[in-house]
Structure 1
Amino acid sequence: MHQFWATFAGCLLLILLVLAADWQLTARARRQTDDKLTEQQEAAMLPILLDQVPTPLVRVQGTRPSALNRAARQLFGTDDQILPAPPELLSPDSPQVRIEGRLWRIDRVQAPGSSLSVVALIDIEAVERVAEARAASDMIETLGHELLNGLAPIVSLAESAEQAMQRPDTRDRLLPEILGTLARRTDGLMRFTTAYRALARLPNPAPAPTDLHQLAEDLARLFHLQWGGRVALSVEVKAEGPALLDRDQLTQAIWALMNNGAEAAISGASPAAVQLAFSANATGLTISVQDSGPGVAPDLRDRIFRPFFTTKEGGSGIGLSLARQIARAQGGELSLQPAMPTTFRLRLPPTPATA
């Protein structure tokens, strides 16, 4: 009897061991299946998530670009291959591409040792609108700060003048000094307010046929009066016939660029020089202002067009901001080119007079 129970216990233990091993193998298989399902689910989710990314993504294999997500398909109007292929997408050195009249920055990731790359297209105008909204907030804050800083000493000086008037022993000595300081501070505040008004109240452009050769001659004459003997100026005009534009506003924009270039050229090590170039054809009007200055620091390139931002002592920070506003009011754009020498390029779209 004892031997029977021993045999029974041994069989039961063996059965339990077999069941435990089977359970362990089943659990391991289930985990492997679950892991495989998770990997499959992740692989299936990746294209879905990629398709929802608002940034257009393009796959470039050799000379064949194709849309990777919905944003790219909408931008290029295709479900797969992009035809015709913009040359900028195929060139690994192109920083920008213009599509449907809008400028896009190219951020490229190249697969090592392969002709495959993935391109992300960043809407430069959208980025600039965000920067401009931030600049508008900064402008309001700056305006309030400047006005308060300007009014506080004026109030204090006015009170001092009133007190001096009541004291004959100090009136003749202190009053002229107080009034002179008051006049200078008031004049500085007036200049600041005038600059702000010019930026905030730019009138709508009034385009009219304009002779670009004559416009260039007028600007050169003004430049020689202002900078003659200190900064050399060269002018080039490649245009036939008149251009339809607001001459007064465009003159103001170009003049701001030329003055900015002259100031930068004087601060450089090379002989001070500015170059003004006009080029008009079927694609529109391009105006370039180049200077021999030291260039714009990389960390300042995105800030120089902000209202009231300046690196110059006594500068108002209005010129470049106003120039860009004038360009955009006429349907164009003003940009700082990425390479040296420093070149500002103002582009205006084609018009009946320039086409």
Structure 2
Amino acid sequence: MFRLNSYFKLALYILLLVLFSGTLFLLIYASSWYAIIAALGVFFVAYFIINLFNRIPRKFSFFLNAVENQDSTLFFPENIRHKPTKEMNKSLNRVNRLIQEVKLRNREQEQYYSLLLEQVSTGILVVNNRGSILLVNRAAKELLKYPYLSHIEQLRRVDANLYQAFNRLQEEGRREFVKIAHSSGSTQLSIHSTKFVNLANTLRVYSIQDISNELDAKEVESWQKLIRVLTHEIMNSITPITSLSETILKYYVTSHKPDKTTLGINSNKEEDKIFNGVEMDSAESFKLNTVDEKTIANTIKGLKVIYERGTGLIHFIESYRKLTRLSKPIFKSVVLKDMIEHLLVLMEYEPYFHRISFSVEVNPVNICIEVDEAQLSQVFINLIKNAMQAVEHTSSPKIDITAKHTDTGYLEVSVVDNGPGIPLEIMDHIFIPFFTTKDNGSGIGLSLSRQIMRNHGGSIEVVSSSGNTQFTLKFIQ
């Protein structure tokens, strides 16, 4: 900031200081009273030098204090003669204008984002670590049916389950689904939270979405798919049972329908009965057939088929019960690698196990997860068994199980096989309950696995091509 004029002043002050100091020394040595005048001269020259050096820091300090106090009226005079000071004042005024422009732009951006938040259909809440709600948009108030929100505790008044869901999200950060009841019905909400640190404050942003319509559409679609599968499975069992029952019945009896007019029966008052698939009139008579060894043998064969079909139908119903009565997970800490290796030991007696090359890679090796061990073990068993069956006819079969943390905050566990892959036309159906391409398959393994993963707050995904099929379990950490 110093230019020629400032340097000249500084040099002059230093020269005067040296002269006065030398004079003071000589006068003191000569014991002259002029030493007092020389001492005063030294003092004033030193004061001017200090003041010259402090002038600029004082001005900067004044400027920074004004900025800190958000004083936008600050202005330094620019119509002064001292050129260095004039240039410095211009620079400070320019910086002050830039700061005001930045503040104005920030204020405009705040208004823009505030308007944007008010227009979106997703509810947004920003909560600090004390539970105070710092920001809530219109959509959140409408979804929660509560117009005045200032603290997370107020959600108790909306719905106890909703409050508990928000508390779980504060601790774990998972996605929660909760159904809240209100005067006009009920709403299914999906709530997700993200944590971030703003200066010294830890804030959590909650996004709330009404997924009722999506769930209704998905529910209808799921019911349609399930009904098609149920109809297919039940008809596959009932049709041969009905057909065989009718055939066996005809082995033993022959029906005879006499003329109804001779019996005085009015045709519009007939009462028909159905017996094992054979329609019989109330006036119908029967004639017993002769039973021989061939008839008995055919009957036994037919009854065996009926028994097998009936047993298969019972197993199908038991599978359905297993799928619909999945218990709530009991979470505990589990060492992932130990659990996987233990399951592989248990599966050593499976067919083709020893001709398959298995590899387990967990990074880091001491990964622990909070899961229901029994339920997650069932998921791994389903995936590993499917992989083993997929590589049954592969020349060099191998199954790789890997686990790692991702940059997006997930723990991903993958089961990869080098089998022929899943055909594209059935890829969309493999998670549908009871859908199976195996002769002895129940069709609930993958569907049950997906349900277990959802109950754990995670997901299951599949990518498949010829020679590579990968099922990935994703856990939020």
Q: TM-score range by the shorter chain?
A: 0.5 to 0.7
Stretches of 4+ aligned residues off by more than 6 angstroms: 125-128
CA-CA distance at 1:192 after TM superposition: 2.2
Task: Please give the alpha-carbon distance, in whole angstroms, between the structure 2 residues aligned to 1:127 and 1:302.
Answer: 22
Task: Give 2:381's aligned residue.
Answer: 255
Contact 2:337 2:366 in 1 (8 A): no
- Is the counterpart of residue 141 in structure 1 residue 228 in structure 2? yes
After superposition, the Cα gap between the structure-2 partners of 1:330 and 1:169, relative to the gap in structure 1 and judged at 3 Å, is same
Task: Give 1:353's aligned residue.
Answer: none
CA-CA distance at 1:216 after TM superposition: 1.2
Task: Give 1:216's aligned residue.
Answer: 340
1:233 to 346, 358, 366: 358
Q: What pairs with 1:262-277 in structure 2 (closer than 5 Å)?
A: 262-268=388-394, 271-277=396-402
2:240 to 150, 153, 157: 153
Task: Please give the alpha-carbon distance, in whole angstroms, between the structure 1 residues aligned to 2:303 and 2:315.
Answer: 18
CA-CA distance at 1:265 after TM superposition: 2.1
Cα deviation digits, residues 256-297 of structure 1 (max 9, x gap): 1112212222355x5111112234699454321000023334
After superposition, the Cα gap between the structure-2 partners of 1:259 and 1:172, relative to the gap in structure 1 and judged at 3 Å, is same
Task: Give 2:462's aligned residue.
Answer: 336
- Is the counterpart of residue 245 in structure 1 residue 385 in structure 2? no
The total of aligned residue pairs comes to 240
Cα deviation digits, residues 202-259 of structure 1 (max 9, x gap): 2221223333333212321233211323432222334426432111111111111112
Contact 2:174 2:476 in 1 (8 A): no
Task: Please give the alpha-carbon distance, in whole angstroms, between the structure 1 residues aligned to 2:117 and 2:224.
Answer: 30
Q: What pairs with 1:1-355 in structure 2 (closer than 5 Å)?
A: 133-158=220-245, 160=247, 168-170=291-293, 172-226=296-350, 227-238=352-363, 239-240=365-366, 242-268=368-394, 271-279=396-404, 283=409, 285-337=411-463, 341-350=468-477
Percent identical pairs in the alignment equals 31
After superposition, the Cα gap between the structure-2 partners of 1:128 and 1:336, relative to the gap in structure 1 and judged at 3 Å, is farther
Cα deviation digits, residues 294-337 of structure 1 (max 9, x gap): 33344543332222333445543322222111100111110114
Letter matched to residue 214 of structure 1 = D
Contact 2:333 2:370 in 1 (8 A): yes
Q: Which runs of 5+ in 1 are unaligned?
A: 1-66, 78-99, 103-122, 351-355
Contact 1:132 1:306 in 2 (8 A): no
CA-CA distance at 1:164 after TM superposition: 5.6
Contact 1:216 1:237 in 2 (8 A): no
Task: Please give the alpha-carbon distance, in whole angstroms, between the structure 1 residues aligned to 2:470 and 2:342.
Answer: 21
Task: Please give the alpha-carbon distance, in whole angstroms, between the structure 1 residues aligned to 2:469 and 2:219.
Answer: 23
Contact 2:174 2:457 in 1 (8 A): no
Task: Please give the alpha-carbon distance, in whole angstroms, between the structure 1 residues aligned to 2:323 and 2:411.
Answer: 24
After superposition, the Cα gap between the structure-2 partners of 1:280 and 1:243, relative to the gap in structure 1 and judged at 3 Å, is farther
CA-CA distance at 1:177 after TM superposition: 1.3
CA-CA distance at 1:158 after TM superposition: 4.2
The Cα RMSD (Å) is 3.9
CA-CA distance at 1:160 after TM superposition: 4.9
Contact 2:353 2:388 in 1 (8 A): no
Contact 1:240 1:280 in 2 (8 A): no
Superposition TM-score, scaled by structure 1 size: 0.55
Letter matched to residue 346 of structure 1 = L
Task: Please give the alpha-carbon distance, in whole angstroms, between the structure 1 residues aligned to 2:420 and 2:448.
Answer: 23
Letter matched to residue 204 of structure 1 = K
Contact 1:284 1:347 in 2 (8 A): yes
Q: Which has the larger radius of gyration?
A: 2
Higher relative contact order (CA 8 A, sep 6+): 1
Superposition TM-score, scaled by structure 2 size: 0.43
After superposition, the Cα gap between the structure-2 partners of 1:70 and 1:184, relative to the gap in structure 1 and judged at 3 Å, is farther
Secondary structure, in 3 states, of the residue corresponding to 2:457? coil
Task: Please give the alpha-carbon distance, in whole angstroms, between the structure 2 residues aligned to 1:204 and 1:144.
Answer: 29
Task: Please give the alpha-carbon distance, in whole angstroms, between the structure 2 residues aligned to 1:345 and 1:128.
Answer: 25
Task: Please give the alpha-carbon distance, in whole angstroms, between the structure 1 residues aligned to 2:212 and 2:468.
Answer: 27
